[in-house]
Chain A
Amino acid sequence: MKLQCYSAEFAGLLADQVEANLVRYSGSSQWVDELARTGGRIRESGIEIKELPRLQMPHAGEFHEAENARRLHAALNKLSPLEAMDHRLWICLSHTFYWDYVQARWPPGSAGQVLDRFLFGGTDFGSLVRNGISRLWWFGHLTFDKNRANPYELMDTLLCNQDIQQALLQRSFGKSRIVLHTVLDHIRINRDTLYARAIGDKIKEIAKRLNVLGGVALLEAMPPRAMNAFLAENARTALESA
């Protein structure tokens, strides 16, 4: 099957009318289906896939982030980063096949939240990991490592706590694959020791300190041993202040 996407005009229209349509985001997607059917607003994207995977629905505070990211990324693993930057694709998926998932994952309480999760609240790199569906693909893409027995091992670490991906992927240093993987591997290896408690708060603090260090040094040029020593030292001191 070929993935469908919205026209740019329709995606823009939905973004412009978020306030007016806010209440409708809590109901069924019939209204958006009807709107999309008029005037050539749904297009074929040219991206061929076998089928879209079903996502596990949030239940009792469990969001199944890693499992859902694995399913989506595995199904769309031929997507290039360029294609995965196309807002029209993700907005269409968020408003059609994954409507129920996005709605359950982020109950639409404000226009800002709808803009971020069903649509895109900007064109910066951070918006790619805020849209409800695009984020799952990017989590997979950024952490996938074919040289590991489990290629999604680092993604499991990234998503083991909500604060980790927010702390790492909303900052510029998290864009560097070498830095991101080094940090995630450090967390993975020391999960039961340095990060045994208050892992979210610690990662937030460490991310701030990495940002400061990145002002003095190019983090991707730091040798792994020096980076690991920095992370270990700061995980210990963050523990003291956490």
Chain B
Amino acid sequence: MRISNRSWPHPVLAPFRDDVLPNAFSFTLGLSSDRQNYYLKIAIELAHDDLRGMVSEGHAIACVHVECRRNFYRVMWPIVDLRKDLVIPATELRGSVEVFCCVLAARDVTSYRIQGQHPDYGQASFRIREGDFLAVTDMMHFDAFLDFDPLKKLSSILTIRESDNDDEGPMKVILGEPKIVAELSRADYRRYVDLKRDTTLLPLLASQVVVPALMEAVARIKSMAPASEGYEENMELRWFRSITAKIKERKINVWHEDTQAARVVQNLLDLPLQRSLTGLLLLAADDEEEA
């Protein structure tokens, strides 16, 4: 539901309009989740005396409205004492969820006027029906996905697979599945399986396989503007959610033109090059001992 671009036939207090001044009306949204539910803690701040008075006298009600953009979840709750704790089953939401608060008329009013209404309204008064908007906040969004476990375990978002078709050839990176797939030719996959038994080689193997795969993934994220349809579609993929969450957590602006995918990946993996070089030094030390 779009709120900010509306034109109402009566004065509506909103932070993005000057229908009514002062127009301060906002809310804070505390969000947490577990496997079963999303927990929303809403607290609204409404400074306008007239509207606060109408709410306390029962002539108006404050509400919070929650709507999932991707499915048919759209529910409104009344707010008492300017605070509301909501528990929404995790099975109801997925993807971008919109939340806003509002004050609505709780009964019909034949001559509605409000203190601070824009001078253009003059002495006009308005007919208001029960349910009409009297004040609205800006919209807030949150992403409803329960598997944000940003890169705690790389295997949860990346898998190395043997090609069905190619005996030899370069590695392919597949980004259309829940996990990033690094697909190796049959010959390379055999070599990889042999080599990974030696734990000292693991950092090197990671650099050879994991780093380029993640660079492809970061490049994909970089090419998607947040809130675009492509971004929304890609949020269906676990790897996309995990990496974007990690990027946000580390306050990396991946969409800035100067941000290089290579640097982002190194940051995400906590300097893999350093570990690879350390692995190489260990190998060199082993070789010297054998000599």
Q: Which residues of A contact B (CB under 8 A)?
A: 7-9, 12-13, 38-39, 80-83, 85, 87, 122-125, 128, 138, 141-142, 169, 172, 174-177, 214-223, 226
> What residues of chain A lie closer than 8 Å to B94, measured between beta carbons?
82, 85
Q: Which of B7, B67, B131, B237 sits near A8, CB closer than 8 Å?
A: B237
A216-B133, A221-B131 provided; 18 other pairs, C-beta below 8 A?
A: A8-B177, A8-B237, A12-B176, A81-B71, A81-B73, A87-B236, A123-B95, A123-B229, A125-B68, A125-B69, A172-B1, A172-B67, A174-B72, A216-B8, A217-B104, A217-B133, A218-B65, A220-B75
**Lowest 4 CB-CB distances: which A-B pairs, in order?**
A80-B91, A175-B74, A222-B131, A217-B131
Q: List 30 A-B contacts (CB under 8 A).
A: A8-B237, A9-B181, A12-B176, A39-B164, A80-B92, A81-B92, A82-B91, A82-B92, A87-B236, A122-B229, A123-B232, A124-B69, A125-B68, A125-B70, A128-B72, A138-B72, A142-B72, A175-B72, A176-B76, A214-B1, A215-B8, A217-B104, A217-B129, A217-B133, A220-B75, A220-B76, A221-B76, A221-B104, A222-B131, A223-B130
* A13 vs B93: C-alpha distance when bound (angstroms): 26
| A220 neighbours in B (Cβ, 8 Å) | 74-76
Q: Which B residues lie within 8 Å of A122 (CB)?
A: 229
User: Is there contact, CB below 8 Å, between A8 and B176?
Assistant: yes
Q: Which residue of B lies closest to A172 (CB)?
A: B1
- Chain B residues in 8 Å Cβ range of A138: 72
Chain B residues positioned under 8 Å from A175 (CB to CB): 67, 71-74
Residue B61, interface by CB 8 Å: yes
- Contact string, B181-221, partner A, CB cutoff 8 A, digits 1/0? 10000000000000000000000000000000000000000
Task: Give, as a whole number of angstroms, the nearest-CB distance from A82 to chain B.
Answer: 4
Contacts of B176 in A (CB 8 A): 8-9, 12-13
Chain B residues with CB under 8 A of A80: 91-92
Q: How large is the interface on B (under 10, 10 to 19, 20 to 34, 35 or more residues)?
A: 35 or more
**Measured between alpha carbons, how far is A92 from B164 in the docked complex, in Å?**
22
Q: Is the CB of B1 within 8 A of A123?
A: no
Please report the C-alpha to C-alpha distance between residue A217 and residue B65 in the assembled complex, in whole angstroms.
13
Interface presence of B6 (CB below 8 A)? yes
> Considering the complex, which residues of chain B in the window 25-71 have a beta carbon less than 8 Å from any beta carbon of chain A?
61, 63, 65, 67-71
* Chain B, range 91-117, C-beta contacts under 8 Å to A: 91-95, 102, 104
